[in-house]
């Protein structure tokens, strides 16, 4: 394996949890809901996933538990923001505090308990192709799943009627409601999907990337996922680009340090954040005069008038 191949492989694994959480949040925000609790849902997924996997000995059940935990957290958020029309930003931040605490309580008995990670899937024949084989056909199941999710979400949002309705709920919930669509129910399903994806992203951390539990192991990745959704201008393909760009910059700065580049490590560590700003600025400068990118109804509670 060449160094370039190795770097590609690392970038993909480092970016996948970001991508999983981001693609979920993208659907949530497309439906008009801003859930800043991604970090809280993600870490609950990480803790529940590893807890159930250790108790049952089954990685699959662990993954299911992580998805369930993410969805349970999302349901709590939905109860507050959709059922009771509370402020989404405050509810999301509270959800993060709650999730950080509860994950610590759930994870406490499992600190320092090792378990094997989920193995990679080698696609027969294809994985033997030089370069491409290693990068595309020798990954763990989550990587394939994350790409499938991007494809699926892109198809759903732009090629199906349900996707159109979901976007309508995000752009103009009043009109969607007037046309007879159940705005709150659609938003509820979107929020649940976001929770499931965040839980999955958490499970990827605690079951695949670093298979064990430590407190706060998501280390702010939920926040980066939120930034990626914005970077993507709410487009699934761009979310994939954003996640890989960000993950790639992180990995490159680590490699630059390892190679002994004589630049303060803090500057290298700041580059992914700075370059993400630069990249988005360049994109926006190139598409001057384009239409509005953020869903118009984003973050505004909607209460149907009867």
> Which 66-105 positions form the footprint of other proteins (CB under 8 A)?
76, 80, 83-87, 89-91, 93-95, 97-105
- Whole-number minimum distance, CB 117 to other proteins, in Å? 8
- Whole-number minimum distance, CB 155 to other proteins, in Å? 25
Residue 205 structure tokens: 């951390």
Q: Which is nearer to other proteins, 71 or 186 (CB)?
A: 186
- Dist. CA 86–CA 70, nearest whole Å: 20
Residue 131 touching other proteins (CB under 8 A):
no
Residue 281 touching other proteins (CB under 8 A):
yes
Residue 305 touching other proteins (CB under 8 A):
yes
User: According to DSSP H, which parts of the chain are helical?
Assistant: 3-30, 38-56, 59-78, 88-107, 132-136, 141-159, 161-171, 173-178, 183-203, 221-231, 236-258, 265-286
| Total binding residues toward other proteins, as defined by CB under 8 A | 85
- Applying CB under 8 A, among 6, 147, 165, 189 the residue interacting with other proteins is 6
Q: Which DSSP state fits 232?
A: T
Q: Which is nearer to other proteins, 112 or 130 (CB)?
A: 112
Residue 118 touching other proteins (CB under 8 A):
no
Q: Which is nearer to other proteins, 61 or 120 (CB)?
A: 120
- Dist. CA 112–CA 294, nearest whole Å: 43
- Applying CB under 8 A, among 55, 111, 129, 148 the residue interacting with other proteins is 111
**Binders of other proteins among 198-237, rule CB under 8 A?**
205, 209-217, 219, 221, 223, 226-227, 230-231
Q: Which is nearer to other proteins, 131 or 151 (CB)?
A: 131
Residue 294 touching other proteins (CB under 8 A):
yes
Q: Which is nearer to other proteins, 17 or 24 (CB)?
A: 17
Residue 161 touching other proteins (CB under 8 A):
no
Residue 114 touching other proteins (CB under 8 A):
yes
Residue 147 touching other proteins (CB under 8 A):
no
- Applying CB under 8 A, among 112, 125, 130, 159 the residue interacting with other proteins is 112
Contact letters for other proteins, residues 173-192 (x by CB under 8 A) = -------x-x--x-------
Q: Which is nearer to other proteins, 152 or 216 (CB)?
A: 216
- Dist. CA 303–CA 152, nearest whole Å: 30
Q: Which is nearer to other proteins, 101 or 152 (CB)?
A: 101
- Give every CB contact of residue 22 below 8 A, 6+ residues apart in sequence: 225, 226, 228, 229, 232, 239, 242, 243
- Dist. CA 275–CA 214, nearest whole Å: 30
**Are the C-beta atoms of residues 152 and 23 closer than 8 Å to each other?**
no
Biggest CA-to-CA distance, the chain = 66
**Are the C-beta atoms of residues 68 and 199 closer than 8 Å to each other?**
yes
Q: How far is CA 129 from the centre of its chain?
A: 30
- Whole-number minimum distance, CB 172 to other proteins, in Å? 14
Q: Which is nearer to other proteins, 155 or 281 (CB)?
A: 281
User: DSSP characters for 92-136?
Assistant: HHHHHHHHHHHHHHHHGGGBT---PPPPPEE-TTGGGSTTHHHHH
Residue 35 structure tokens: 């859930």
């Amino acid at each position: 394996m060449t160094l370039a191949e190795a770097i590609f492989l690392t970038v993909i694994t480092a970016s996948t949890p970001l991508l999983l959480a981001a693609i979920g949040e993208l659907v949530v925000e497309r439906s008009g809901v801003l859930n800043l609790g991604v970090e809280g849902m993600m870490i609950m997924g990480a803790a529940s996933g590893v807890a159930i996997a250790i108790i049952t000995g089954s990685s699959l059940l662990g993954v299911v538990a992580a998805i369930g935990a993410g969805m349970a957290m999302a349901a709590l958020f939905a109860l507050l923001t959709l059922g009771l029309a509370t402020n989404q930003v405050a509810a999301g931040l509270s959800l993060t505090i709650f999730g950080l605490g509860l994950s610590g309580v759930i994870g406490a008995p499992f600190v320092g308990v090792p378990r094997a990670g989920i193995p990679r899937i080698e696609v027969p024949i294809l994985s033997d192709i030089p370069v491409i084989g290693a990068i595309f056909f020798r990954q763990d199941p989550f990587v394939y799943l994350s790409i499938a999710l991007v494809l699926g979400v892109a198809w759903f949002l732009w090629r199906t009627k349900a996707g159109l309705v979901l976007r309508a709920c995000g752009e103009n919930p009043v009109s969607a409601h007037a046309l007879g669509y159940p705005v709150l129910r659609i938003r509820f399903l979107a929020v649940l999907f976001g929770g499931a994806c965040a839980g999955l992203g958490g499970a990827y951390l605690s079951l695949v990337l670093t298979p064990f539990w430590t407190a706060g192991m998501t280390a702010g990745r939920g926040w980066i996922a939120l930034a990626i959704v914005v970077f993507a201008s709410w487009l699934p393909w761009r979310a994939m680009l954003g996640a890989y760009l960000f993950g790639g910059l992180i990995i490159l700065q680590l490699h630059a340090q390892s190679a002994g580049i004589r630049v303060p490590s803090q500057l290298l560590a700041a580059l992914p954040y700075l370059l993400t700003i630069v990249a988005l600025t360049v994109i926006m400068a190139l598409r001057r005069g384009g239409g509005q990118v953020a869903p118009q109804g984003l973050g505004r509670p909607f209460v149907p008038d009867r």
